[in-house]
Amino acid sequence: MGKILDVSGKVIVITGGSRGLGAEMAREFAASGADLVLTSRNKESCEVVANEVRQLGRKAVAVSCDVSNLSDIRNLFNVTLKEFGRLDVLVNNAGANVTKPAVEVTEEDWDYINDVNIKGLFFCCQEAAKIMIQQNSGKIINISSVGGVKPYKRIAPYTSTKAAVIHLTRSLAAEWARYNIHVNSIAPGLISTEINKTEMENTEWLDRAIKAIPLRRLGDPKDISQIALYLISDAANYITGQTFYIDGGTLSE
């Protein structure tokens, strides 16, 4: 990607870092010189990705963290400071969803999705900002979704949280710009990962999904990790408060 996207020595926290987009971003950032703190509720899965990072010659720490739990969030950032003494980047990638008709959504479903996707994301931003304000520098990437602007059936609570992420990103960017903290969002379209493997095996569903994408292909995790690398690099130092739609043109129609 060139020296301009070199992120050597940066310390990066990735929530939801054990698989899918989080794991791919960890590999991308490590290959470009960053050290990682990887977190999810499953520390063992994070440790697998952390070992991949170490094999690339970078430092990595795996931390168990349920982002719906504020004590876990505070511990995550305390561990980061203890291990590295600073924090340059936070990527809020952890997410939750429940697929069902809106009339069947329970209070437990609603609380679960909102606690992870917006409450947890906000308080991760808050804890990161406390460190970044002292440093007078930092970058935050919030992972939203094209569902934050395009309606989809059977995932109403999920899409509402992703819309909230887009607006929260703009609000925090405006408030924290004075501290040289950049806050941006990435809104992926349909990306092929192990998380949606079951759906991908349904050829009828897959054909229908691809036909709805102007580029006529699914996104690859690298399509997300590479734009994330750009945003955390010095090449993006005049960008804040923006949402980048990486969707193969889905929102263009």
Where in the sequence numbering do the catalytic residues fall? 158
Long-range pairs for 61-67: beta carbons < 8 A, 24 or more residues apart: 61/36, 61/37, 62/38, 63/37, 63/38, 63/39, 64/39, 64/40, 65/15, 65/39, 65/40, 65/41, 66/41, 67/15, 67/94, 67/116, 67/120, 67/121, 67/123, 67/124
- The helix (run of H) or strand (run of E) holding residue 209 is helix 203-211
Both tokens of 113, joined, read 């999705």
Rounded Cα gap, residues 68 and 117, in angstroms: 9
Rounded Cα gap, residues 147 and 169, in angstroms: 16
Residue type, 156: A
Contact call for residues 169 and 184 (beta carbons, < 8 A): yes
Best CA proximity match to 79, nearest among 92, 91, 60, 63: 63
Beta strands 138-143 and 181-188 are parallel
Q: Using DSSP, state whether 155 is helix, strand or coil.
A: coil
